[in-house]
Amino acid sequence: MIKNLVFDYGAVLVDWNPHHYYDKYFGSAAKADWFLENICTYEWNIKQDNGRPIREAEEELISKHPEWEKEIMMYYGKFTEMMGGELPGMEDCLKELKKSYHIFGLSNWSAETFAIAEPMYPIFKLMEDMVISGREGMIKPHKEIFELAIQRFGINPSESIFIDDKQENVDGARECGFHGIRFQNREQMLREIAELSKR
């Protein structure tokens, strides 16, 4: 019996995307793509989600790419301009789901930027509890963060569904005993929650 739903945040509940800022700054989505694939990369950003201080990350990257200092500093300096809104319909969706399930959050997110983002979005207040990777110094898809969530939330993973937009994180949750859904859209998510809840 499914009792608990555990949600990732970015690209599931809220819209964070560096393109919101860099596309306008560079005047081209293609130029922004190049910058994000070669300078401020996903691999660089994920270390901040794992607890590395932003200032340390900036200094390290600027030492490698001094010609991009201004643009590197924008990555976190313009953080709020990279945030879109809540994904359409998800707040009402979670309010409805809370009538039948316990709702929790488990997100890879820098502690420093989540402190800015958390008060921006009412949807986060719907969570009974949450685990934020940057606060804990551990990160999805590693099993340690799922084990921490199980302990902190007081849940049985076999009675829980983890929902994330990245397949590697869904796979990591499944390895720890969760049911898993890779989020594509609200309708697909609700359909899969209903299917898993019938088992």
DSSP string for residues in 30-92: HHHHHHHHHTS-HHHHHHHHTT--HHHHHHHHHHH-GGGHHHHHHHHHTGGGGEEEEPTTHHH
Separation of alpha carbons 150 and 129, rounded Å: 11
pLDDT at residue 191, rounded to an integer: 98
Q: Is the pLDDT of residue 142 over 90?
A: yes
pLDDT at residue 196, rounded to an integer: 97
Q: What is the mean pLDDT of residues 139-158?
A: 98
Q: Is the pLDDT of residue 199 over 90?
A: no
Query: How many Cβ atoms are within 10 Å of 100's Cβ, its own excluded?
Result: 12
Q: What is the mean pLDDT of residues 65-89?
A: 97
Q: What is the mean pLDDT of residues 17-37?
A: 98
* Contacts of 192 by beta carbon, 8 Å cutoff, 6+ apart: 181
The band of 119, judged by pLDDT with boundaries at 50, 70 and 90, is: very high
The dihedral built from the CA positions of residue 157, 159, 185 and 107, taken in this order, carries a sign that is negative
Query: How many Cβ atoms are within 10 Å of 143's Cβ, its own excluded?
Result: 13
Q: What is the mean pLDDT of residues 102-127?
A: 98
- State what percent of residues in the chain have pLDDT above 70: 100
pLDDT at residue 152, rounded to an integer: 98
For 180-192, how does the pLDDT look when each residue is reduced to its tens digit (9 = 90+)?
999 999 999 999 9
Contacts within 8 Å (CB) and 24+ apart, 153-156: 153/4, 153/6, 153/102, 153/104, 153/128, 153/129, 155/3, 155/4, 155/6, 155/102, 155/104, 156/3
Taking CA 69 as the corner, what is the angle to CA 63 and CA 139, rounded to the nearest 5 degrees?
Answer: 70
